[in-house]
Chains A and B, each alone.
Chain A
Amino acid sequence: MASFERTFCLQVPSSTENLALIREFVSTAGEQAGFGEDETLRLALAVDEACTNVIEHAYQNEETHEVTVRVTVDEDAIAFEVIDRGRGFDPTQEPALPVEELIRRRRGGGLGLRLIRTIMDDVQYRIVPGQMNELRMVKKRRRAGEVKPESGESR
């Protein structure tokens, strides 16, 4: 039951050149929402990884498409939706491999998803056939002074 909700939206051409812009957008939203510097960096990283996947896999590095990042902030959480209209690819169906295995396979592709899963509290993927693909990532807020990491009973 959120008493306030704010939404921010950024739409950019599907080029890796725009990843810096996307990170700045996410960092600004994260800071405004009251997340600390380290946490904001991790949020920007997770969204960067999601957008990189879209550019490289959904759009096959074609720069003529668009990537949309929508950020919704309420009193409980910050949510990011990365939306594309490319080839649907559900990253949440990929197995979570250990880093040693990723190294053995000599590929970096699986690392991004591993980062997203580690950083975010909830990750979901939705395909609307013929219309769009949406990766939704949620990071819950930890309220200062209310819940301590060591104790779950400080109500």
Chain B
Amino acid sequence: MTRSFLIETRDEGNVRILALRGFLDAHTAPRFEAAVEEELRAGRSRLVVDCTGLDYISSAGLGVFMTFIDEARGAGGDIKLASIQPKVYQIFDVLGFPALFDIQPAVEDAVARFERGAGEG
């Protein structure tokens, strides 16, 4: 009926951007999970999730971040979030995610955080 969730990927330097659009719930989360897993299996652990077009997230979507965050950090990378709409941010906030994940106002900020961290080994 409707394509309620889309993922577009692109590179900025050696950082992989996953831009999400639509509704991330228990129905669509498996697609996001597969996309993140594919990046990590391909050796890309420096990920920025661009949430500009994300209209909704439930715990199934949040669970994907939780599932892969240790693996990404263990491989020397991270899963950073950027450009979250206020209405979606309140859901991250309810769960205390801002203390656990690196959330940046814009994609460029998140990419810059990787570049700054890269020099420190």
Contact = CB atoms under 8 A, between A and B. Distances in A.
Interface of A: 15-17, 19-20, 23, 37-38, 41-42, 45, 48-49, 52, 55-56, 99-100, 102-103, 106-109, 111-112, 114-115, 118-119
Interface of B: 4, 23, 25-27, 56, 58-60, 62-64, 66-67, 69-70, 87, 90-91, 94-97, 100
Secondary structure type dominating chain A contacts: helix
B70 A52 contact: no
A59 B98 CA distance: 33
B26 A111 contact: no
Contact of B4 (A20, A55, A107, A109): A20
A48 B66 contact: no
B94 A20 contact: no
Given A23-B56, A108-B60, A103 B27 contact: no
A146 B58 CA distance: 32
